[in-house]
């Protein structure tokens, strides 16, 4: 059993931005995670307009390497431009920068806090924003839970967890399995004999252990996942897998935090020709390791200072295959190392009735040991190309000012940030037929400067309205630049600029609730729009809930966008509606009906010269869950 109210509580402490920024964060609450019709974290993230992954498809039907997250139109390629933390620890893939979305079970999450805009805090300076994912508080976890779901799309979800005490310590264990034959991403008029459904098979397990030490805490987390997918053609299989571990120490006075973490990840991918329908490239292994450490000291309640470091190392191994014979024609290995060391300071306080906040970070980065090794089909060494070692320093930060009133709050902020290219962008080329995108070992870091201002009106309890303006300029933005109809390369472009308006409305009146938000922005690289960035996105959820039952209906709209940097391949606007109905039966059983894409709207997720992929069609899920009372 967990501690009762009379016992000393066990707390999991996570990293926080300064309170002036946290006050203006977008928070995805537990109820939003429960209302995700797909049962996946992407559904909950999609309720935040302006937050997007590179492609519109979710983690059942996209290549894992396309799962980078960004905000406010700062797109253009698949790498994350947000800093994504789970309980204060970075979770993005060390080689690619994508987020392992299928390994993030909504049932394990308490809330998600999103601070938009750059900053200079711990574990690197965010360029587009910071996404803080907090695990479900130990006090809110049942002693045990188990459940499963089946869908009309021939898919299933199984999951469960347990929480127990070991003396004064608390341990948890959770697991989840998602599997399905998938849906047709290829339209009926473009299918061939080699076409295949987007089958998926994802498993994950996670354990946490929290031990009190004379008022201090030691927090340990270990997780493992494996995700297999088939995309578009038979044999076009991808694999992502990993093992993560982290250890945190938080002092009794909460003035000292120490953390270390390690990642071991792997990725594999088979490219099938869209004309011959046979494998032409086998990216059979991409082993990568990531490690980091952080120390933070709070000499005063309003001030935090610290230092951190992150190190990544990885190599992409691939075999080129003959389309006519299937023989191996070349074997290539490309990779390198990246290191980032930083010192940071964060402060917040009040002066003359104003809330003031700020952060500053000095980062030293280096890219080293870059190499490209090429062998012939028999393994004979043909060439070894080393790439120059590069390094640099950057000073980034954020300042904010605001004021809270009886019915009206306001805030303004200015920020800067830097993002070092990933090993994937520097060294790994990829193909989404018929287009090949080349790596670029000469890429420079991106640097962003931005500003924002907004007001929040809360005239009545349970009623809140927000509106804000923002502008960003991303210098040396890394984008996939078209060189010919079938060839692109990652390049630094002069700048990516975005400016726009964000608005939201939240109403809670008795059993009824409403959450709505929209983002309108103008994003440009020169005269053109960045790939995959819509000008307008919006979401709205209407819900009703009493002690035993609940209904939620969510509408999401994505405006039109382009799949390429030349703005030739259009992605039409798409509007979908989801619904979730739940009923508690007895003390331990809850039944949910989840309806994805209720009106079966067509969502185009990829368009390359008329060759298109589609998003998830309508699917009805029956979900039964059992929890300890």
- pLDDT for 24 equals 67
Asked if residue 517 has pLDDT above 90, the reply is yes
List the beta bridge partners of residue 622. 150, 593
Backbone angles phi, psi at 540, to 5 degrees: -150, 135
The more confident residue out of 79 and 183 is 183
pLDDT per position as a tens digit, 205-239: 999 999 998 889 999 999 999 999 999 999 999 99
Out of 76-80, 111-115, 553-557, which region has the weakest mean confidence (pLDDT)? 76-80
pLDDT per position as a tens digit, 231-267: 999 999 999 999 999 999 999 999 999 999 999 999 9
| H or E stretch at 54 | none
Asked if residue 275 has pLDDT above 50, the reply is yes
Going edge to edge, which strands form the sheet with 82-86? 26-28, 109-116, 129-135, 82-86, 89-90
Residues with Cβ within 8 Å of residue 523, at least 6 apart in sequence: 73, 74, 75, 496, 497, 498, 529, 530, 533, 535
Classify burial at 391, counting beta carbons within 10 Å of its beta carbon; exposed 0-12, middle 13-18, buried 19 or more: exposed
CATH of 19-144+234-627, one of 1.10.10.60, 3.10.180.10, 2.40.170.20, 3.40.1390.10: 2.40.170.20
Residues with Cβ within 8 Å of residue 239, at least 6 apart in sequence: 226, 227, 228, 229, 266, 267, 268, 269
């Amino acid at each position: 059993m967990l501690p009762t109210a009379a016992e000393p509580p066990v707390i999991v402490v996570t990293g926080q931005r300064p309170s002036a920024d946290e006050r203006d964060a977008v928070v995805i609450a537990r109820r939003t995670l429960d209302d995700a019709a797909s049962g996946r974290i992407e559904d909950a993230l999609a309720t935040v307009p302006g937050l997007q992954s590179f492609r519109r498809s979710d983690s059942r039907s996209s290549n894992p390497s396309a799962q980078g997250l960004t905000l406010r139109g700062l797109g253009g390629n698949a790498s994350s431009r947000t800093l994504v933390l789970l309980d204060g620890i970075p979770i993005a893939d060390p080689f690619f920068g994508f987020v392992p979305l299928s390994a993030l079970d909504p049932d394990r999450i308490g809330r998600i806090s999103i601070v938009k805009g750059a900053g200079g805090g711990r574990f690197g300076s965010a360029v587009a924003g910071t996404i803080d994912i907090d695990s479900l508080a130990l006090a809110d976890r049942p002693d045990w839970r188990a459940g499963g779901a089946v869908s009309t799309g021939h898919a299933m979800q199984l999951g469960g967890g347990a929480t127990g005490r070991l003396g004064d310590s608390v341990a948890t264990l959770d697991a989840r399995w998602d599997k399905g034959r998938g849906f047709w991403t290829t339209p009926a008029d473009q299918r061939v004999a080699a076409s295949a459904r987007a089958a998926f098979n994802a498993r994950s397990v996670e354990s946490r252990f929290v031990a009190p030490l004379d008022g201090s805490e030691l927090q340990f987390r270990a997780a493992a996942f494996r995700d297999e997918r088939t995309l578009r053609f038979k044999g076009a299989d991808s694999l992502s897998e990993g093992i993560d571990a982290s250890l945190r120490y938080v002092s009794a006075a909460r003035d000292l935090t120490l953390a270390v973490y390690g990642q071991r990840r792997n990725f594999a991918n088979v490219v099938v020709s869209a004309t011959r329908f046979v494998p032409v490239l086998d990216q059979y292994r991409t082993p990568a390791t990531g490690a980091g450490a952080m120390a933070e000291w709070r000499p005063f309640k309003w001030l935090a200072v610290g230092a951190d470091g992150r190190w990544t190392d990885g190599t992409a191994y691939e075999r080129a295959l003959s389309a006519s014979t299937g023989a191996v024609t070349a074997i290539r290995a490309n990779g390198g190392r990246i290191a980032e060391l930083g010192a940071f300071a964060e402060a917040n306080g009040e002066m003359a009735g104003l809330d003031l906040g700020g952060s500053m970070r000095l980062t030293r980065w280096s890219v080293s040991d870059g190499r490209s090794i090429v062998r012939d089909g028999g393994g004979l060494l043909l060439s070894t190309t080393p790439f120059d070692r590069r390094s640099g320093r950057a000073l980034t930060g954020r300042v904010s000012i605001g004021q809270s009133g009886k019915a009206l709050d306001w805030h303004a902020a200015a920020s800067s940030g830097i993002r070092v290219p990933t090993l994937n962008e520097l060294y790994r080329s990829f193909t989404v037929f018929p287009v090949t995108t080349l790596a670029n070992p000469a890429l420079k870091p991106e640097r962003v400067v931005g500003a924002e201002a907004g007001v929040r009106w809360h005239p009545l309890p349970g009623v809140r309205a927000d509106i804000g303006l923002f502008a960003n300029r991303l210098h040396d933005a890394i984008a996939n630049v078209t060189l010919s109809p079938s060839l692109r390369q990652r390049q630094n472009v002069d700048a990516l600029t975005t400016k726009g308006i964000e608005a939201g409305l939240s109403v809670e009146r008795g059993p009824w609730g409403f959450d709505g938000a929209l983002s309108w922005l103008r994003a440009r690289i020169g005269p053109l729009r960045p790939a995959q960035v819509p000008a307008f996105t919006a979401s709205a959820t209407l819900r009703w809930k009493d002690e035993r039952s609940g209904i939620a209906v969510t509408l999401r709209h994505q405006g039109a966008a382009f799949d390429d940097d030349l703005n030739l391949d259009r992605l039409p606007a798409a509007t979908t509606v989801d619904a979730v109905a739940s009923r508690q039966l007895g003390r331990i059983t809850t039944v949910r009906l989840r309806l994805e894409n209720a009106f079966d709207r067509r969502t185009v997720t990829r368009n390359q010269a008329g060759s298109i992929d589609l998003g998830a069609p309508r699917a009805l899920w029956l979900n039964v869950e059992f929890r300890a009372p």
